[in-house]
A and B are shown apart, each in its own frame.
Chain A
Amino acid sequence: MQRQVALIKQSLFDQGYLDEQFMELEELQDDVNPNFVEEVATLYFKDSARLINSIDQALERGSFDFNRLDNYMHQFKGSSSSIGASKVKTECTMFREYCRVGNAEGCLMTFQQVKKEHATLRKKLEHYFQLARQAGPKETARRSK
């Protein structure tokens, strides 16, 4: 079981969903805080959902206030990079680029990508954490980075 968990984790890294920042988080996990990473991830998804909503609304309005959009995205990108959400971060960067040049089409398009990556990562991580919990807290804490 643990092995399975480890494999899943490894694949997330390999596929570029997660980067070294995630590893940093794992290092913070220990006996006293055995579910730290999951807690952070949960918090992240909750908070980022809120941001995504805001951006969605802003885009729907059609007014394209690029500054505002960029602000939202800046926050979103900061969060995402904090947990190591690599692909999401990449899409965020693209979105900001479009904002910078004022390309509305590009923004819309990229944002779809952002949402997609975000949703994908969420599913994958949920699955991963679930397994990890089943595998036993020890494993989680001691998972080798």
Chain B
Amino acid sequence: MMNPSQGRGLGSGGGSSSGRNKGGEAVVEMFPSGLRVLVVDDDPTCLMILERMLRTCLYEVTKCNRAEMALSLLRKNKHGFDIVISDVHMPDMDGFKLLEHVGLEMDLPVIMMSADDSKSVVLKGVTHGAVDYLIKPVRMEALKNIWQHVVRKRRSEWSVPEHSGSIEETGQQQQQRGPAVSEDAADDNASSVNNEGNNWRSSSNNSRKRKEEEGDEQGDEDASNLKKPRVVWSVELHQQFVAAVNQLGVEKAVPKKILELMNVPGLTRENVASHLQKYRIYLRRLGGVSQHQGNLNNSFMTGQDASFGPLSSLNGFDLQALAVTGQLPAQSLAQLQAAGLGRPAMVSKSGLPVSSVVDERSIFSFDNSKPRFGDGIGGHQTQQPQMNLLHGVPTGMEPRQLAGLQQQLPVGGNRMSIQQQIAAVRAGHSGMLMPQQQPFPRGPPSIRQPMLPNRITERSGFSGRSSVPESSRVLPTSYTNLATQQHSSTSVAFNSFQQELPVNSFPLPSAPGLSVPAQVRKPLSSSSSYQEEVNSSEAGFTAPSYDMFSNRHNDWDLRSIAFDAHQDAESVAFSNSEAFSFSSMSRNNNNNATVAATDLGRNQQQTLSGMVPHHQVYGNGGGGGSSVRVKSERDTAAMAFHEQYSNQEDLMSALLKQEGVAPVVDTEFDFDAYSIDDIPV
């Protein structure tokens, strides 16, 4: 057997695969044998088993039981590995963090694995960029095919042939761009990969090993077809990239310009584009988390208008994607946006530009996404994450969002009845009322509001939303409405709100995405979820919102009412949101909410111009009626997301006071008692 090192006990003669590594001789006949895998897991038993399995697949295995060690190994040996498999739960570093690092720095495909098979974790893996997620105990069959990820990645990096030309030349000498080529022939075996396979090998192995060992044999010329030397994003390169991005402004950073600024020979626009995408996701993740509470909101709200624009690009890009996955927490979105935009958090509510719609959506998507998964949504409080799910619905894409939402909705929890959802959504609209439960679909479809970054959690969501008054927008439910309407006026209110409200991190923005028009009925549910604690993250947010906007007087009376009301108002969404807020407030159920919503909606209209205090009951009545008053700012929608009722209650009161509206105590809103009329709108 050829490679004793391979430890192939099989004695296969075949080893065929071996050839490659050894000494640059002929390439492996059996692609993908020889694939260089790095396995990271703190469990020694698993590590041993995995190593054995991988060896049996004829892969080259390096095992590591600490993430830090793995990272340094990777850094030291940039092209020494083709793929990384890592456990999620590790003592020294979270598996997802490692995943991010590897993605950004080395751009290697990473497979996550865990005994944890809960949807939320799997989703996290996806949003963090893992190419696959394996559930332990891992079986051989699962490992046998991991090579496909390597090939796939290589392929996507070879976007431009011409680049390879330049790179090839340099590639030979450079480690980084491995113009693969030399061993193309050998790789031809790879059935599915042919060229890619060659490239894969050549770039990864060949370039490195072969070239060195064999000199540049054929490489370049042949490589041309495959060459796509894989760009390894070294720390320096990455820093250059970040500098360029910052210089341009995160939101304005486009691959082309970044490329120009970086001025790195051989670097293609595609390389930069894909790296930018990853970077955005990374930022988003960062931003969302921290901001969540207040920062995002503020930025959201205020910056919404401004941010929306740029954000959309940013957001649209990532957010959407993220939103879809629902992973992006609105917060991070917000953060990203805020950060990217560099804009002062403007109260977006009023001015959310349409473009922001997209942002909002993305924002919402964040939130939504979280809640969506509602698995955990058990309580409102926990909803936040869930809410994001819903919100996470892709912002930019309404239709997509809707689709996403829809999917999401059902996931979470359809627990909430549609009505609730609708209510939730509406609430979300009003300002993301829904925070309570699953922030789902808050994203009223129209909530385009610039991604309410993080904020969404409570108010922010609204503010952002206000900007997007599109009625039938995909807004993730209520968000948009709220945001759109009041933008300016409410924004202020919201801002304060936000702070007060414990941001449930209900990313309003996400809602927008969710709100997918009508289709996703659920969006509202999100709001309702809040109310009801509907754990169903699905939060009908998204869906309802649309309805609302579109005046669908369907299930929820609220919705229709809200819509109607809103219609008059600047942002229909707003009214919807109001309706939601009310509905959301009505923790009890839509029923109550409807009443409330209706009233609110009505009130909203009046107040829309001013600031309609939305009462958002975040968190279902249970939350102590933490109804948050959604100020006209639609932030409420965002806020709605936050289930934190308690906070909301305070917020609501505060808001109401601000608004001059009789503070409607949660109790009042208790859906049953929604006396919207009482609310001096």
Give the residue name and chain of the A residue nearest to B9 (CB).
A32
B56 touches A44 (CB 8 A): no
Pick from B48, B56, B139: contact of A39, CB under 8 Å: B48
Query: Is B52 among interface residues, defined by CB-CB distance under 8 A?
Result: yes
Query: Is A33 among interface residues, defined by CB-CB distance under 8 A?
Result: yes
A25 touches B49 (CB 8 A): yes
Pick from A24, A71, A79: contact of B46, CB under 8 Å: A79
- Of the stretches A10-18, A80-88, A131-139, the one at the interface is A80-88
A30: B residues at CB distance < 8 A: 9-11
Give the residue name and chain of the B residue nearest to A20 (CB).
B139
Give the bracket for the number of chain B residues in contact with chain A: 20 to 34
Minimum CB–CB distance from B205 to chain A (whole Å) comes to 25
Minimum CB–CB distance from B461 to chain A (whole Å) comes to 29
B137: A residues at CB distance < 8 A: 21, 24, 78, 81-82, 84
A79 to B65, CA, bound (A): 14
Prevailing SS type, chain B contact patch:
loop
Near A by CB (< 8 A), chain B positions 29-46 give 42-46
Minimum CB–CB distance from A125 to chain B (whole Å) comes to 13
B53: A residues at CB distance < 8 A: 28
A28 touches B44 (CB 8 A): no
A30 to B136, CA, bound (A): 23
Pick from A32, A44, A47, A71: contact of B8, CB under 8 Å: A32
- The answer to whether residues A24 and B114 also contact, given A75-B89, A82-B43 and a CB cut-off of 8 A, is no
Query: Is B342 among interface residues, defined by CB-CB distance under 8 A?
Result: no
A33 to B138, CA, bound (A): 20
Query: Is A143 among interface residues, defined by CB-CB distance under 8 A?
Result: no
A40 touches B49 (CB 8 A): yes
Minimum CB–CB distance from A103 to chain B (whole Å) comes to 16
Q: Could you give, for residues 109-135 of chain B, a 1 whenever the CB lies within 8 Å of some chain A CB and a 0 otherwise?
A: 000001110000000000000000000
A36 touches B45 (CB 8 A): no
Give the residue name and chain of the A residue nearest to B113 (CB).
A78
Size of the chain A interface, CB-CB below 8 angstroms: 26
A32 touches B7 (CB 8 A): yes
Give the residue name and chain of the A residue nearest to B138 (CB).
A82
A43 touches B48 (CB 8 A): yes
Query: Is B93 among interface residues, defined by CB-CB distance under 8 A?
Result: no
Pick from B52, B115, B140: contact of A81, CB under 8 Å: B115
B45 touches A44 (CB 8 A): yes
Q: Could you give, for residues 68-107 of chain A, a 1 whenever the CB lies within 8 Å of some chain B CB and a 0 otherwise?
A: 0001001101110111100000000000000000000000
B9 touches A33 (CB 8 A): yes
A33: B residues at CB distance < 8 A: 9, 52
A48 to B89, CA, bound (A): 16
A32 touches B11 (CB 8 A): yes
Give the residue name and chain of the B residue nearest to A25 (CB).
B49
Pick from B11, B136, B139, B140: contact of A78, CB under 8 Å: B136
Query: Is A31 among interface residues, defined by CB-CB distance under 8 A?
Result: yes
Query: Is A27 among interface residues, defined by CB-CB distance under 8 A?
Result: yes
- The answer to whether residues A81 and B9 also contact, given A28-B53, A28-B56, A47-B45 and a CB cut-off of 8 A, is no
A77 touches B140 (CB 8 A): no
A48 to B115, CA, bound (A): 16
A24 touches B140 (CB 8 A): yes
B9 touches A31 (CB 8 A): yes
A33 to B51, CA, bound (A): 13
Prevailing SS type, chain A contact patch:
helix
A48 to B53, CA, bound (A): 21
B89 touches A31 (CB 8 A): no
B49: A residues at CB distance < 8 A: 25, 28, 40, 82-83
Q: Could you give, for residues 1-22 of chain B, a 1 whenever the CB lies within 8 Å of some chain A CB and a 0 otherwise?
A: 0000001111100000000000
B7: A residues at CB distance < 8 A: 32
Q: Could you give, for residues 24-67 of chain A, a 1 whenever the CB lies within 8 Å of some chain B CB and a 0 otherwise?
A: 11011011110010011001100110000000000000000000
A28 to B8, CA, bound (A): 10
- Most chain A CB atoms below 10 A, which of B10, B114, B116, B137: B137
A83 to B136, CA, bound (A): 10
Minimum CB–CB distance from A104 to chain B (whole Å) comes to 20
Give the residue name and chain of the A residue nearest to B136 (CB).
A78
Minimum CB–CB distance from A81 to chain B (whole Å) comes to 5
Minimum CB–CB distance from A95 to chain B (whole Å) comes to 14
A43: B residues at CB distance < 8 A: 44-45, 48
A78 to B115, CA, bound (A): 5
- Most chain A CB atoms below 10 A, which of B10, B52, B56: B52
A44 to B48, CA, bound (A): 10
A82 touches B10 (CB 8 A): no
A47 touches B116 (CB 8 A): no
Pick from A27, A31, A79: contact of B43, CB under 8 Å: A79
Minimum CB–CB distance from A26 to chain B (whole Å) comes to 11
B9 touches A47 (CB 8 A): no
Pick from A25, A44, A71: contact of B89, CB under 8 Å: A71
A82: B residues at CB distance < 8 A: 43, 45-46, 49, 136-138
A75 touches B43 (CB 8 A): yes
A28 touches B46 (CB 8 A): no
B140: A residues at CB distance < 8 A: 24, 27-28
A25 to B45, CA, bound (A): 11
A75: B residues at CB distance < 8 A: 42-43, 89
Near B by CB (< 8 A), chain A positions 119-144 give none
Near A by CB (< 8 A), chain B positions 55-79 give 56
Q: Could you give, for residues 171-185 of chain B, a 1 whenever the CB lies within 8 Å of some chain A CB and a 0 otherwise?
A: 000000000000000
Minimum CB–CB distance from B334 to chain A (whole Å) comes to 28
A78: B residues at CB distance < 8 A: 43, 46, 114-115, 136-137
A79 to B534, CA, bound (A): 35
A124 to B52, CA, bound (A): 24
Minimum CB–CB distance from A80 to chain B (whole Å) comes to 9
A40 to B44, CA, bound (A): 9
A79: B residues at CB distance < 8 A: 43, 45-46
B11 touches A31 (CB 8 A): yes
A44: B residues at CB distance < 8 A: 45
B52 touches A36 (CB 8 A): yes
Pick from A24, A27, A71, A83: contact of B45, CB under 8 Å: A83
- The answer to whether residues A74 and B9 also contact, given A81-B137, A82-B49 and a CB cut-off of 8 A, is no
Give the residue name and chain of the B residue nearest to A92 (CB).
B115
A77 touches B115 (CB 8 A): yes
11 new A-B contacts, CB < 8 A, other than A40-B52, A81-B115, A83-B49, are: A21-B137, A21-B139, A28-B52, A30-B11, A40-B48, A43-B44, A44-B45, A47-B43, A74-B89, A75-B89, A78-B46
Please list 13 pairs of residues, one from A and one from B, whose beta carbons are closer than 8 Å in the complex, sorted by A's number: A24-B139, A28-B49, A28-B53, A30-B10, A40-B48, A43-B45, A47-B45, A48-B45, A74-B116, A78-B46, A79-B43, A79-B45, A82-B49
The 9 closest A-B pairs by CB, nearest first: A32-B9, A78-B115, A30-B9, A44-B45, A82-B137, A81-B137, A79-B45, A21-B137, A28-B52
What residues make up the interface of B, taking CB atoms closer than 8 Å to A? 7-11, 42-46, 48-49, 52-53, 56, 89, 114-116, 136-140
